[in-house]
A = this chain, B = another copy of it.
Amino acid sequence: MAEFLIYADNHFPPDGEPELQASLRSRERERAGELRAAGNLRRLWRRPGTTGWIALWEAPDATELHDQLASLPMFPYLDITVEPLATHPQER
């Protein structure tokens, strides 16, 4: 399994429909729970002052990583950057 840092800005509009937003958040939490249970979503942080997040992710490769990220219900509203991580000699 490879490790990645994922940076996500959330640009759901401030005047978006509250019901849509509530639905997305609920389903997002559910899907994230599945990815956490599967060992892909290892850590999740809030970027303070924003609705975005940073995650430590594990996936076999970038292709499966993309499929997992694209399965998030909020995905259409996310601006995502992926940073691949290499194991540091000190942790080998």
Contacts and interface: CB of A to CB of B under 8 A. Distances in A.
Interface residues of A, number: 45
26 contacts: A2-B61, A3-B45, A4-B84, A14-B76, A14-B77, A32-B90, A36-B90, A43-B91, A46-B66, A46-B87, A47-B82, A48-B66, A48-B69, A48-B82, A49-B66, A49-B78, A49-B80, A49-B81, A50-B80, A53-B88, A54-B83, A61-B61, A61-B86, A62-B86, A63-B87, A66-B86
Interface string A5-29: 1101000001000000000000001
B14 A48 contact: no
A48 B78 CA distance: 12
